[in-house]
Amino acid sequence: MKKNTSSLKAGLLLIGLSALFTTQACKKNSGNTVSKSLTTGASKNGLTTMASNADLIAYKATKHEISAGFYRVQGPCYGPGVNGSNFSLVPDSLDVLILFCFDKTSPIAGSVPAWVSSLHAKGTKVIVTGNLNIPSGVPHNTAGYQTTAKMIMDSVVNKYGLDGYDIDVESNPSGSTLTDMTGVYTALSAYLGPKSGTGKLLTFDTNQTGTNSLFRKVYTMIDFVWLQAYGRGSSTLQGTWNTFKSYITSTQFVPGFSFYEENGYPSNYWDDVTYPENGTGRAYDYARWEPTSGKKGGTFGYAIDRDAPLTSMHDNTLRVPDYKVTKDLIKIMNP
């Protein structure tokens, strides 16, 4: 998802079965309301008072522009992060957290259910980025698609108490590849997404436009489109939205930016946030942007774990995040 169509994600995310879950390249509701069907019961670690939690859950159940973030967890792509890669410390008002490059063999895998439960207590949904690969030995037909979808649910989504699955699409598939991807996505829609009735999310994470071949096959099964708009001026968003608007509502369209990664410079970086943070940059422009008709779904940040007090535009120091930018954007979208 650190998107560039070429770089960071070749061969990411082996969740459960390696052939099935190597990520492909990243990172509806009729309104942009995040579903209320969340797991209850949580670790008290890092929680606010129950009254505050109730207020957070009530806020997230309203129609508002959501805030989402891709969190790079410790695993096959990244080393240990600050705070032990504890993603439960993200801002309370975050609506959706997307685990990026998560692997069952990660040192933090055993902590994931408790951290997810902690976020559930605040009404935050936690999903994971994966792909639609069919494991070796599974037939490429309807039965095989259903088998693959059940494996994703059993070994990833349900195992860790997650609220959905995000598909990273950075190509325009065709032929048998398109048929297989459509088949698995359709099979997943029985468990996740607007057709499932479960309240769990099925999302489409892409740097493509609404002309993408897979999107055109599965758009009725999608909760949100996370548009990887990294490095692009906000003036380009309307044109991209125009390619999607015949298929999804504006509240399902969520443009995203990238925080500066400590190892990104000089080949894989976007400068979407100005450092030191001063309330300027493309991230802020995206938060203020709206389609010419309707409201957008919100915004997301890639590498939200790098929402930290950096001292310069290309500060490579791994710092404890303070989530200042994320909090600023939430206030801009929902004053």
Domain ranges, ordered by start, for the chain: 18-333
pLDDT one-digit tens code per residue, 309-329: 999 999 999 999 999 999 999
Backbone angles phi, psi at 164, to 5 degrees: 155, -175
* 2-28: pLDDT as tens digits: 543 333 433 333 334 443 443 433 333
pLDDT for 76 equals 87
**Which residue, chain included where needed, has tokens 């492909």?**
24
The residue type found at 175 is G
Distance CA 135, CA 21 (A): 9
Query: Which residue type, as a one-letter code, is found at position 116?
Result: V
Phi, psi values for residue 329, rounded to 5°: -65, -35
Separation of CA 138 from chain center: 28
Q: Taking all residues of the chain, what is their mean pLDDT, rounded to a whole number?
A: 87
Per-residue exposure over 285-322, b if at least 16 CB sit within 10 Å of its own CB, e if not: bbbebebeeebbbbbbbbbbbbbbebeeeebeeeeebe
71-73-76-78 Cα dihedral, nearest 10 degrees: 80
CA max distance for the chain? 54
Residue 122 CA to residue 135 CA, distance in Å, equals: 36
Decide if pLDDT at 172 tops 90: yes
In angstroms, the CA 302 to CA 230 distance is: 9
Tell whether the model's pLDDT for residue 45 goes beyond 50. no
User: Do residues 170 and 25 touch, judged by C-beta distance below 8 A?
Assistant: yes
CATH superfamily assigned to domain 18-333: Glycosidases (3.20.20.80)
Catalytic residues: 170
User: What share of the chain in percent tops pLDDT 90?
Assistant: 77
Q: Mean per-residue pLDDT for 134-146?
A: 98
Average pLDDT over residues 26-47: 35
Side chain identity at residue 217, one-letter code = K
E-strand ranges in the chain read 66-72, 96-100, 125-130, 164-169, 201-206, 225-228, 253-258, 298-302
CA 111 to chain centre: 20
Using 50, 70 and 90 to split pLDDT, how confident is the model at 39?
very low
CB 260 within 8 A of CB 269: yes
Task: Kindly indicate the confidence band of residue 80, based on its pLDDT and cuts at 50, 70 and 90.
Answer: confident
User: Is the confidence at residue 106, as pLDDT, over 90?
Assistant: no
d(CA 195, CA 192): 7
